[in-house]
Structure 1
């Protein structure tokens, strides 16, 4: 937690964790925008923890993939796509097991006695993912693109809603404190989101691409523009950004669903992305420690 300290007539921001401490000079009075300064200060504190590791992961990954034949890269994408589809679907309550998902996507075997909706959405999610990773062009993301992604996955299971913004209120069943964007505000928030997103599309490579992917996920899912499918689309956006910038893709495991949701909810309740950002960046680094 960031604290304000007063020493020898001057105010400072201070934050420490374990054996690390950082201070920021404020002046003789506490600025009016102190909460904004606290948030930025905390972000700087943690960026020092992960920036070098992320840059190392990116560089080493890009060196690695140059050595791999395209046919093997495709197989790697297929393997990742199956794991990603299983986990992203399972996080949202799919009944398909890992074996069900593998048999469906690898051998075309429809799982017995399992939800037809889950089966269709699993296949459609995987097909969309493979289309994205094998496409020669990776254009900027737009509202039209995202609506099409939603339509591609849900056109057979959410008829009338697939590819359309929601027209009703939604919330989080496990936490009444969280309220997503109102129906009336969704168009405005979506415009703001894509304006923000595309300011970073010609991304400065000195900045943190993984942090950008994390924030895109967080911002989109916090708008919650669809009646269903927001988590799956936000994780696709996240991986599209990583793909476009030649970074390892992110696999959020279903077994880590509880802490994943908890970090998201903490950021949403406090209106501060730092809580989700901390979890995400540490998770990404841990899952890609091979590359640094």
Structure 2
């Protein structure tokens, strides 16, 4: 950057004292900027770029590069840190925090009003209802992926340990594993443990336990092709960094963004990464609901019918392909509101 500044000043036929006078900066500082013995502030760089007619992007990139090298250039972990920072910077540019629509804000306000009523019910009275809602969530999530167990059969498999005639072992394991994954999440929340990249791998391992043992808890090692050409999952080599960056973003924003928006955004971004060969849908829904439960909301369960499934996939596709992220957040808000209303109605009877 020092060469860039000196050449630009000389091209303008300006002396260092003239630059100093025009910008209100000490002449000695201008000389130090050009010798490299002192780094200008961001504000000073902007002023210098304008006066000396240097392309702002060019000089800012040079300034930031030198700043980074100065801070971490000699550290043994510098390159690894830079790669991790690159992924997080990319993620933050993809996931800007923006003002919500009037409609979404209205629903969020209604959700929070209903949620405030949950505190008025005793834990003893609500525990059986919560358990029933979790079984329903397991049924609905598995149904989305083609499991043919009914709600009643799912309940019998989970709570009574029964084997349902005519149903495959895989379908039984899907019900048992999903319920265990919910318990895994609840235990972490109870222990106030953060949602991190390694927990996601554990969730996937639970979901596919006994079903696809070679894949369980393993990121995909090969590129995959999705039928929808507008959706391009990330390169396998970048998966760990992408997932880590996503949850770093979550940690940095979990107290800044409404939990509904937070949960929907993390789920959508997780599916964009598509870290596993199988099980991405179930794991992403579990992550979403983990965030909701962490913030005192209920499990948001997508109803097991074709209309709701079509609405879900349509809204999700729009979010993943960046056509319209608002519709998916609105969809998640609506199903959370339905869950809360159903819960209040049931517990009030």
Q: What TM-score results when the alignment is normalised by the length of structure 1?
A: 0.76
Relative to structure 1, the CA distance from residue 48 to residue 85 in structure 2 (aligned partners, 3 Å threshold; closer, same or farther) is closer
Task: Give the alignment of 1:2-13 within 5 angstroms.
Answer: none
Q: Which residue, out of 137, 145, 160, partners 2:199?
A: 145
Aligned equivalent of 1:263: 315
Deviation, structure 1 residue 200: 3.0
Aligned pair in 2 of structure 1 residues 171, 77: CA closer, same or farther (>3 Å)? farther
The residue that corresponds to 1:53 in the other structure is: 110
The alignment covers a number of residue pairs equal to 247
Higher strand share goes to which structure?
1
User: 1:208-264: per-residue Cα shift (whole Å, max 9, x none)?
Assistant: 212211112111122111111111111111111111111122111121111101110
Instruction: Return the match for 1:126 from 176, 179, 191.
Output: 179
1:165 aligns with 2:222: no
Q: 1:283 aligns with which of 335, 338, 344?
A: 335
Q: Out of 299, 304, 316, which is 1:249 matched to?
A: 299
Bigger CA radius of gyration:
2
Pair 1:216-2:266 in alignment: yes
* Gap regions ≥5 residues in structure 1: 1-35
Q: How does 1:6-25 map to 2 (within 5 A)?
A: none
For residue 288 of structure 1, report the CA deviation from its aligned partner.
Answer: 2.8
Contact 2:263–2:292 under 8 Å retained in 1: yes
Report the CA distance shift for 1:114/1:122 in structure 2 as closer, same or farther (over 3 A): same
The two structures, once aligned, show a CA RMSD in angstroms of: 2.5
Residue 132 (structure 2) pairs with residue 75 (structure 1): no
Cα drift, residue 273 of structure 1 = 1.9
Greater RCO structure (CA 8 Å; 6+ sep): 1
Q: Secondary structure at the match of 2:229?
A: strand
Aligned residue for 1:99?
152
